[in-house]
Chain A
Amino acid sequence: MSSAAPRTVDEYRQGVRSRTFSSGEFLEETAGRIQQGDESIHAYLHLRLDAARAEAAHAEPALALAGAPVAVKDNIMMAGERCTCASRILADYVAPYSATAVEKLLSAGAIVPGKTNLDEFAMGSSTENSAFFPTRNPRDPSRVPGGSSGGSTAAVAAGFALAAIGSDTGGSVRQPAAFCGVVGFKPTYGLVSRYGLVAFASSLDCIGPVTRSVKDTAIMMNILAGHDARDATSIDRPPLDFEAALEPDLAGKRIGLIRELGGLSVQPDIEAALEDARRLAEQRGATVVEVSVPHILAALPAYYIIAPAECSANLGRYDGVRYGLRVEGRDMTETYSRTRNAGFGPEVKRRILIGTFVLSAGYYDAYYRKATEVRQLISDEMDAALAGVDALLTPTTPTTAFKLGAVTDPLEMYKADVFTIPANLAGLPAISIPAGTDSQGLPIGLQLMGARFGDAGLLSVANVLFEGLGGQA
């Protein structure tokens, strides 16, 4: 293969269609990078390279993805492949069906090299909570890739795939995208079907793409978006052309900075990157204004009540009765207890316990009900703020990637989700784009949030800033 290997899906498609190289050749090169590099990065939990090679031989260049390698997070079902959720409790579970998102990718000509690592059941921000092994950041292997979709973002950053899909419940696509220097997008809730995504917190979970450019995000969204009768929370709306909606500048656009987030402690290099982005937006024709989302700082505590509550119900099914790990006890109750004790890691147990507590009799009103009221309030405030601007600009994370093992206090880990969580609580689209590096050369990510179902417009704004800030990280 030539030295000018494509870095994006867009370039790849042009290359395949102009017969500069073939799908098989490109997959072979990708496979070579995986075989050479993934032993140290550990982006993938399981590979299916032989199957992928066979598929690449018949790839159809006319299809939207034209045989491009796309990695799939291992909490999304792909028929016949293992789906472990990086948990011992599902270590040998083989998916009996495919997620709608996977079906769509495959019919668009994607080739899946393997399933990527994650924090167990998508609970975590570093991919250190995988029951099997942590994933390392390709930009600095002593550091975490972020999480929970750290395997997907590391795979894209390392060139182990041209794109990937992950799941974002509180920032699980955007935060690792920021840490790895790639683009991560969480669509409006209901825009991409959740059917086949293993539930963590159903009202917050979204499948979203990880790519190396915003244009690739648009290409992926053209495939992934759409109503699915198998997901009752999926919204039936006329289809959008995300790629066609990308505009060259920000003329007439308004970008908001959220006043209440101004006081948060953020790494100075990230503050500086935010300021650069602000200036760039103005140069490209946008007006930057300050907006208020009065209760936005209550998003974090509300999230850490609602998400565990839903998780405590969603993970009850892993009881050793029908599938997955089973550790026998003297009676049914002991079998449940032993199975779940052996099968779940500490973070998952912590959240199940918190969730069980906040839903229990006598505490429901004080915790769960209150949290859902706060959620509604924030959602209304975000809608109101976004009625006056085209996008809200924030950092994606307070810091760049930290070292493996550096953050041990769960609360410290939770607090780092402060910028990403509001979009999940409100169900709004949000994207993290690379915005240069810090003094140590680690990628910085900035976040843009858009109005409900304003996904295409948001990608357009993000694309202008992404390209202006240097394009591919």
Chain B
Amino acid sequence: MTTTIGLEIHVQLATQTKMFCGCSTAFGDEPNTHVCPVCLGLPGALPTLNAQAVVLATRLALALGCTVHEISEFSRKNYFYPDLPKSYQITQFDRPIATGGSLPVVTSAGRRDIRLTRAHIEEDAGKSMHAADITLGGETLVDFNRCGMPLIEIVTEPDMSSGDEAYEFLRGLRRLVRWLGVSSGDMEKGALRCDVNISVSDDPARRGTKVEIKNLNSFRSVKRAIDYEAQRQADCCARGIAIDTETRHFDEVQGTTSPMRSKEASNDYRYFPEPDLPLLRLDPEAVESQRREMPELPWQMQERLERDLGLSSYDAALLTEEREPAAFFEATLALYDNPKKVASYMGTEVARLLNERGASLGETRLTPAGLAGLLAMVENNTISNTASKEVLPLLLETGKAPEEAVRSLGLEQVSDTSALEALAREVIIENPAQVGQFKAGKEAVLGFLVGQLMKKSKGKANPQLAGEVLRKLLA
């Protein structure tokens, strides 16, 4: 059985105002508070294009390696629905802003470039709230705050063959849009939405019947829906049951897909060029300068971290998930040149604290200089690695210099031999049995004795020096 999957992804562009009017794009406000004659489609109102939406769309298209077209065209997509106030959506049809391009995806099966068909910009519709969401006697209400939000729709070639691959594609795309500041990529806020096209065939030379799946509200839903649907179609093939070209709805609770009303699939949208908007002409120089100013892309940086700095692919992926930790990592590295140590410390201790606080790096007061200083203090034995874990929360919360934080916590490592000797003597007196074993030649017991000494020093003793002192006293 061969499974063929293509995705259609809507990404909401992170502009301040809507696609064709000056209304705010703020999420989560009272329904119908960010509306005007234009986004409500009132008689006589006209759309004007948000230039920032075009800049963001161009940035994403360039990063995806698309051909960005100097001239593109808006079209009207006509259909009746209560959340579509003009009865048409302004989108791009014959002449999209970008075609081609690809996104690299890594799965257990290796790295592949998933090719893109096209990317076009369009406006979002409003949000229908049905009886289930509201308590108004079965009525449907519409919130037009979302109506006119700027979107870029990305259509892939049918290049994927598993739910895992689709899942990784979406993760990769979300990482990219966040990296570029093009979108929040938040699926739960509707800033990233995905429809799936899938077909299964028992003849590898022939593609099966295409089925579309809608209502996919998380990356996991996309994967589950594909896994279910691939199995369903494979079963149909095996049992000789014909597969219908249809749109299916994913049921998140059941984990199954079922046919949507066939009416919705048979729309004739009567596309034609939008007469209210002139052709979209991009300034080639502006596009070129966007291309020149393109930052290193996350997968490029990940590769570099692995190749040039010797990081594990796990650490490299973690650091390049978002722009902020990646930049933090590089800034820290400039002050403390030990990539593996910085990466591992960020991936464990820092990540744990951020996780506990539900915060991002930028929301704390930790600075690259702070982290670099802390790691340097561990390295030159000013503090122990254990003690550094007590210092870190203070750096996150206060932004103090690490030296000051260490001092205020009284965590300087004891490297004073006479102080250590006093503690060592106590340890020797309190542990005669182990001392005996050591003297009898059991070297490993020294570790236990060092541990006892560390305990007495409340972790402040320099463990290496403590070992030396004990060894000298027991000689």
Nearest CB of B to A78, in Å = 11
Neighbouring B residues of A319 by C-beta, 8 Å: 80, 82, 87
Partner-contacting stretch, out of A197-205, A217-225, A283-291, A378-386 = A197-205
CA distance A76 to B45 in the complex (A): 11
CB pair A313 B85 closer than 8 Å: no
Which residue in A93, A96, A232, A364 is a CB contact (below 8 Å) of B276?
A: A232
Set of chain A residues within 8 Å of B272, measured between Cβ atoms? 309-310, 313, 359, 364, 368
Q: Verify A83–B48 contact, CB threshold 8 A.
A: no
Shortest C-beta distance, A427 to chain B (Å), equals: 11
Cβ–Cβ < 8 Å partners of A368 in chain B: 272
A359 touches B78 (CB 8 A): yes
Provide the bound-state CA to CA distance between A199 and B46, in Å. 9
User: Is B278 engaged at the interface, CB distance under 8 Å to the other chain?
Assistant: yes
Say whether B41 contacts A317, CB under 8 Å. yes
Q: In the complex where A76-B44, A203-B275 touch, is A232 in contact with B78 (Cβ < 8 A)?
A: no
Contact of B46 among A83, A93, A201, A232 (CB under 8 A): A232
B320-373 contacts to A, CB under 8 A, are none
- In the complex, the answer to whether A90 meets B270 with C-beta atoms within 8 Å is no
Any chain A CB within 8 A of the CB of B76?
yes
**Nearest B residue to A205 by beta-carbon distance?**
B275
On whether the beta carbons of A195 and B44 are closer than 8 Å, the reply is: yes
Q: Which of B42, B44, B78, B268 contacts A197 (CB 8 A)?
A: B44
Q: A96-B37, A232-B49 are in contact. Are A85 and B43 (CB under 8 A)?
A: yes
Q: For the complex, what is the distance from the CA of A323 to the CA of B268, rounded to whole Å?
A: 26
**Inside 8 A of A443's CB, which chain B residues have their CB?**
none
| B47 at interface, CB cutoff 8 A | yes
Is B224 at the interface (CB under 8 A from chain A)? no
The interface residues of chain B lying within 8 Å CB-to-CB of A230 are 46, 48
Nearest-CB distance from A343 to chain B (Å)? 13
- When C-beta atoms are compared, the residue in chain A nearest to B273 turns out to be A372
* Chain B residues near A233 (CB-CB < 8 A): 46, 275-278
A317, B270: Cβ atoms closer than 8 Å: no
Asked whether A322 is an interface residue with its Cβ less than 8 Å from the other chain, the reply is: yes
CA distance A228 to B242 in the complex (A): 57
CB-CB < 8 A to A77: which residues of B? 43-44
- A92 and B227 alpha carbons, distance in the complex (Å): 54
Q: How many residues of A contact B (CB 8 A)?
A: 43
Interface residue B86 (Cβ < 8 Å from any Cβ of A): yes
Known A316-B80, A317-B86: A360·B44 in contact at CB below 8 Å: no
B-side contacts of A199, CB under 8 Å: 43-44, 276
Residue A395 lies at the interface, judged by CB distance under 8 Å to chain B: no
Across the two chains, which residue of chain A brings its CB closest to B274? A202
Is B270 a contact of A83 with CB atoms below 8 Å? no
Question: Taking each of B40, B82, B275, B278, which has the highest tally of chain A beta carbons within 10 Å of its own beta carbon?
Answer: B275
Q: Within the complex, what minimum Cβ distance (angstroms) separates A105 from chain B? A: 15
A96 to B35, CA, bound (A): 13
B299 on interface, CB distance cutoff 8 Å: no
Contacts of A361 in B (CB 8 A): 268, 270
B85 touches A322 (CB 8 A): yes
What distance in Å separates the Cβ of A45 from its nearest Cβ neighbour in chain B?
15
Q: Which residues of A contact B86 (CB under 8 A)?
A: 316-317
Interface core residue of B49, B80, B272 (most chain A CB under 10 Å): B272
Query: Which residues does chain A contribute within 8 Å of B87, judged by CB atoms?
Result: 313, 316-317, 319
**B167 close to chain A: CB less than 8 A:** no
Minimum C-beta distance from B230 to chain A (A): 31
Q: Is A229 an interface residue (CB 8 A)?
A: yes
A466 to chain B, nearest CB (A): 32
A332 on the interface (CB 8 Å rule)? yes
Which chain A residues in 304-356 approach chain B with CB under 8 Å?
309-310, 312-313, 316-317, 319, 321-323, 332-333, 336, 356
Residues of B within 8 A of A323 (CB): 42
Q: Counting chain A CB atoms within 10 Å of each CB, which of B44, B46, B85, B272 scores highest?
A: B44
Contact in complex: B46, A195 (CB < 8 Å): yes
Asked if B78 contacts A313 (CB within 8 A), the reply is yes
Query: How far apart are B127's CB and chain A's nearest CB, in angstroms?
Result: 14
Q: Are B46 and A317 in contact (CB under 8 A)?
A: no
Q: Which single residue of chain A is at the shortest CB-CB distance from B76? A: A313
A197 to B85, CA, bound (A): 17
Q: Which residues of A contact B44 (CB under 8 A)?
A: 76-77, 83, 95, 97, 99, 195-199
* Chain B residues near A317 (CB-CB < 8 A): 41, 43, 85-87
Query: B78 contacts which chain A residues (CB < 8 A)?
Result: 312-313, 316, 359
| Interface status of B88 (Cβ within 8 A of chain A) | yes
Contact flags (1/0) for B144-182 with A, using CB distance below 8 Å?
000000000000000000000000000000000000000
B46 surroundings in chain A (CB, below 8 A): 194-195, 230-233
Instruction: Give the distance in Å from the alpha carbon of A202 to the alpha carbon of B270 in the complex.
Output: 16
Cβ of A360: which chain B residues have Cβ within 8 Å of it? 268, 270
Top-7 shortest CB links A-B: A316-B87, A203-B275, A359-B270, A202-B275, A196-B44, A198-B43, A361-B268
Some 12 contacts from A to B, beta carbons below 8 A apart, are A93-B43, A97-B44, A97-B45, A196-B45, A199-B43, A199-B44, A231-B48, A232-B47, A317-B86, A317-B87, A319-B80, A359-B78
